[in-house]
Amino acid sequence: MALGLLVTVVLARGLGPAAFGQYAFVVAVVTALATPFGPALQQLVTREAATRYASDDGKRILALLRWGDRQVAVAATLVGLVIVCAGFWFGGSESRWPLVGLGVVALPFMGFEGLRAGGLAGLHRVVRAQFPQMLVRPVALLSILGILFAVDSLSAGAAVMAFVAATGLAFAASVALWRYARPLGRNTPETSAHKHWRSAWGRFTLLMVTGGLNAQLGLLFLGAVSSDQQVAALRVAIQGGTLVALPLVIVNMVIGPYLARAYHQGDKGQLQALSRRSAQVALAVAGPAALILIAWGGPLLGWALGSEYARIAAWPLAALVVGQTINVAFGSVGWLLNMTGWETDSIRGTVVGLAVHAALALTLIPPFGAQGGAIAMATGLVATNAATAFWVVRRLRIVPGPFPVPGRPVR
């Protein structure tokens, strides 16, 4: 995520607010389109692989990956064709659609890489699982952007092509890592499990779509009703806010398989301990970072990106930092539900947050631009966590967050 922030700095400086806003819009659209066969399948594979790993059922894990590959191939092809046709139909010399059509080439790479990352995480190879997306892709993207900048060929279109190429390299790295770590045994068909996988995939897709909309709604709405400069301002603020959320992201990557195993073994005490300790660690790291960004966000933006970004992105950054700090304080509420089979309740919490986010975005973005989008996003994030925490307490009988609740027994 830190490398992702560096990519943002390089692109924001190299492209300028207008062209960077175009690039940010394209990446937001492609990320949203990849949700069903990227993050959704990845979380499903992580949970199922962790459960099967605890039962020493390697054949089922291999069958799950083979089934997932077929779903990604079909879904990415269909979505890509629709977007390319829309680009030809609606596109023009001043339209963003041609760039979106170029960006969708990354969709199958994102899906196949996510499957293998989920499989590796389920096998407790957590660091290896994140290596392609968190290291290979941003390093490759930075390298390509550096070459483009050196030959004076950096543009919004070139940046999108660099994003596609870097995503392809991340997929290649995930294939190599999976071949090394995959369970031994033959890849035998498991048609009896397909119905269960499809049903769970549908729930995870709905969860990821609502969550992805929660993350991208402000950018998409700004791109539709406001200027590229405002899109760039919100994109920069979002990237800055992710620094505060980074400790929780890392914690989620690590504890996800252990949550699934503890629940599979019926160990509620271990679930409670994992929840509390992970939230304590994440908040201890995120708190100081949040204070720095709130107090000196404007000067830091001016130093890293230039005075124009300091002017347009400082207040959106402050709003999102507050929201992300509260997000970290709640802990891994979504993962607690997703890894224990209660993803339907996680969807309910995310829908609550999305409704709050959408209502505020429609109200605040037209008059306030990026600042309104940041307030809407931060408030939606808090609402999501509050609603999801309610379902964690109700379903799992544990109290999320870093602190115990006085007088509230956990049964």
pLDDT of residue 303: 86
Q: How confident is the model at residue 411 (pLDDT cuts 50, 70, 90)?
A: very low
pLDDT of residue 319: 95
pLDDT of residue 258: 86
- Sort residue 184 into left (φ over 0), alpha (ψ -120 to 50) or beta: beta
The DSSP line for 270-300 is HHHHHHHHHHHHHHHHHHHHHHHHHHHHHHH
The residue type of 32 is A
Q: Give the model confidence (pLDDT) of 67-81 as tens digits.
A: 999 999 998 898 888
Lowest mean pLDDT among 61-70, 206-215, 383-392: 206-215
pLDDT of residue 61: 83
The DSSP line for 197-241 is HHHHHHHHHHHHHHHHHHHHHHHHHHHHHS-HHHHHHHHHHHHHH
Share of the chain above pLDDT 90, in %: 37
Distance CA 179, CA 157 (A): 34
For the record, the structure tokens of 349 come out as 């919490």
Distance CA 72, CA 119 (A): 15
Q: How confident is the model at residue 390 (pLDDT cuts 50, 70, 90)?
A: very high
Distance CA 311, CA 297 (A): 11
Closest CA to 346 of 247, 208, 213: 208
Q: Give the model confidence (pLDDT) of 133-192 as tens digits.
A: 889 999 999 999 989 988 888 888 999 999 999 999 999 999 999 988 877 655 555 666
Residue ranges of domains in the chain:
1-189, 195-404
Closest CA to 346 of 29, 60, 118, 39: 39
Q: What is the mean pLDDT of residues 6-19?
A: 82
Q: What is the mean pLDDT of the chain?
A: 86
pLDDT of residue 60: 78
Cα–chain-centroid distance for residue 386?
A: 19
Closest CA to 158 of 150, 167, 148, 168: 148
The answer to whether residues 374 and 240 touch, using CB atoms and an 8 Å cutoff, is no
Q: What is residue 179's three-state secondary structure?
A: helix
Q: Give the model confidence (pLDDT) of 77-95 as tens digits.
A: 988 888 877 767 765 555 5
Dmax over CA atoms of the chain, in Å, equals: 65
For the record, the structure tokens of 15 come out as 């492209």
Residues 6+ apart with CB under 8 A from 360: 372, 375, 376, 379, 380
Q: Give the model confidence (pLDDT) of 274-333 as tens digits.
A: 999 999 999 999 999 999 999 998 898 888 888 888 888 899 999 999 999 999 999 999
The answer to whether residues 305 and 229 touch, using CB atoms and an 8 Å cutoff, is no
Q: How confident is the model at residue 360 (pLDDT cuts 50, 70, 90)?
A: very high
Residues 6+ apart with CB under 8 A from 37: 71, 72, 75, 76, 107, 110, 111, 114
- Sort residue 369 into left (φ over 0), alpha (ψ -120 to 50) or beta: left
pLDDT of residue 112: 95
Q: What is the mean pLDDT of residues 5-11?
A: 80
Share of the chain above pLDDT 70, in %: 92
Closest CA to 399 of 332, 348, 301: 332
pTM here?
0.70
pLDDT of residue 409: 45
Distance CA 399, CA 393 (A): 6
What phi and psi, each to the nearest 5 degrees, are found at residue 339? -85, -5
Within 10 angstroms of residue 93's Cβ, the number of other Cβ atoms is 5
pLDDT of residue 113 exceeding 70: yes
